[in-house]
Structures are given as C-alpha cells and as structure tokens.
Amino acid sequence: MKIRDRLNQKAPSLSFEFFPPKDDIGFWDLYRTIESLKPLEPTYVSVTYGAGGGTRRKTIDLVERIKSHIGIEPMAHLTCVGSTREEIGRVVDELKAHGIENLLPLRGDPPQGESTFVPVEGGFHHANELVAFIRQRHSDLCLGGACYPEGHPEAPNQDIDLVNLKRKVDAGVDFLITQLFFDNADFYHFRERALRAGIHLPIIAGIMPILSVKQIKKFTQMCGAKIPAALLRQIEAVEDDVEAVRHIGMYHATQQCLDLLENDVAGIHFYTLNRSTATRAMYQLIKARLPTSP
C-alpha cells in the first residue's frame, strides 16, 4: 500500500516512528514491540536511518520484516549522509525488490561530532536532489518529505525555508510530515503559508509526548522547535518527578491531537523514541474519536 493512496481516504492517518537499535537484542525487542501494534491497525510505521552506516543495514532488515512478517505497511527513511549516489541507488533497489513502496528521503543530520553537513564525493547536497534521484530511478515509489512548521534550524528565515520545501515538493514528494511541535497555531500557520506557496500536498503532523524535561530540551534545541512558556513552566516545576512530567506531556500531546483532528489534519505521526506505551495509550484514545476506522 502506498501511503499517498491512504491519505486520500476519509479518516486521517495514524502512524508511529521507530529507530533501529544497534545490537541484536534491541533489534528483536523492537520487532516484538512493533508486532504488538498490529491489532491497533496503524496506517504505517516508519523506521529511521542511521548516519555513517551505524544502523542502515538494520533499517533495511527491519522494514523488510515489518512488511513480510508483521503485515504493517512500513516506510523506510533514507538520508544523504555518508553515501554516494551509487550506494544510495543500491539501497533503493533492494528496498523496492523486497516490496517496500514508501520512502522518506532526507538530507540527514551531520554525523556525530560535526557541526555542518558535508556530502561525500559523489553524494547529494540536499534532500530535493535525493528525491529527484529516487523519482527518476523508480517513478512508482511513494515518497514523503520532512517539513518544519517553525522553520528549519539552518534556514535564515521561514520564507527561505518554504522556498526550499517547494523545491523538494517539485522534485517529486507525495506528502509531508512535520518536525515535532507543541503549539498547534504554528502548524496551522505553516499549513496556510504552504498552501499560498503552491504546496497542495497532505501535511501530516508530527507529535512527540514529553517524557523527560532534559531530553525534550535537547531535541527542541536540535530541531528548532520551541516549548510554549506555560508548558515549559509546568514541566520544569516537576522536573524531578518522572511520572508527573509524563502525565503533563501525555495530556498536552493528547489535547494537541484532538484539536488537530477537529481541524482537518491529514494525519498524525507519533515520534515514539521506541517507547510505545505512552503513544499506544494516546493512539487508542485518538482513534476512538475518529468518525471511521482507517
């Protein structure tokens, strides 16, 4: 199933994102976690792609097993980091040969210890180049694209970021998934601006429930998202109480999702950090509010 076809149906999509652990024990633990999601009937699950070759093989193995053994539609992330065109082409060919129809082409973050992205010789500089390359190689694949409601952290301003996004869309993206955000007003403003810029694709909202104050501050610093002042005061006031932070984070994320559903969101994508308990509870509540099942 191509995700773009599912997004044309009535009910919003609901999906999860995971990252492949580096060791075999973690790999199989995650596999069983994803397998346990089958009764929930998520629209798809996505699997991230490690930079520098760290987890690339495991990403490929995991999405192939999700597709063939679990029966949930997978989407494989694919980045430009540390790979030539030929190497990426071989990965795309292998995924296609194993029936993987959905990819999320990304530029990717600089390798650990480096502050700026530098492509390898014979590699890609930007995600739009990777999108165009895949689209030319396998025109029938379904391609997602990343977007930033508050602007990419490396973009000089939001207008330039939107120009760059339009370039990626024109290269052949079928739908968009946002970076995490905590204020729905940012999402709605971005969606309106994207439409005015000629971007008429479904935009899926990326949601991450706050489970740790230290962790979420690190993530938002990396991706350029902000935590609303009122929410930040709430979680900082109970920073040493893990359960209290988790409760506040879950409540806020759930209210975000319910509001998004009331405002015609194309889909909700849960950034799980491989912790399915929190997102599973949210998912079940949210799915019960949908007018029809996916």
Catalytic (active-site) positions:
17
- Single-letter amino acid, residue 86: E
> Token digits for 78?
């694919």
- Single-letter amino acid, residue 37: L
Measured CA to CA, the distance from residue 91 to residue 111 in angstroms comes to 19
Measured CA to CA, the distance from residue 165 to residue 196 in angstroms comes to 13
- Single-letter amino acid, residue 125: H
Give the list of residues 6+ apart from residue 1 with CB closer than 8 angstroms, or none: 44, 73, 101
Give the list of residues 6+ apart from residue 158 with CB closer than 8 angstroms, or none: 150, 151, 193
Number of neighbours of residue 266 by Cβ within 10 angstroms: 18
Alpha helix (H) ranges present in the chain? 3-6, 24-36, 56-65, 85-97, 127-137, 158-172, 184-196, 213-223, 229-237, 242-262, 276-288
Alpha helix (H) ranges present in 66-183? 85-97, 127-137, 158-172
DSSP 6-43: HTTSSSPEEEEEE---SSHHHHHHHHHHHHHTGGG--S
Measured CA to CA, the distance from residue 50 to residue 77 in angstroms comes to 9
Q: If you ran DSSP here, which 8-state letter would residue 62 be given? A: H
Measured CA to CA, the distance from residue 285 to residue 282 in angstroms comes to 5
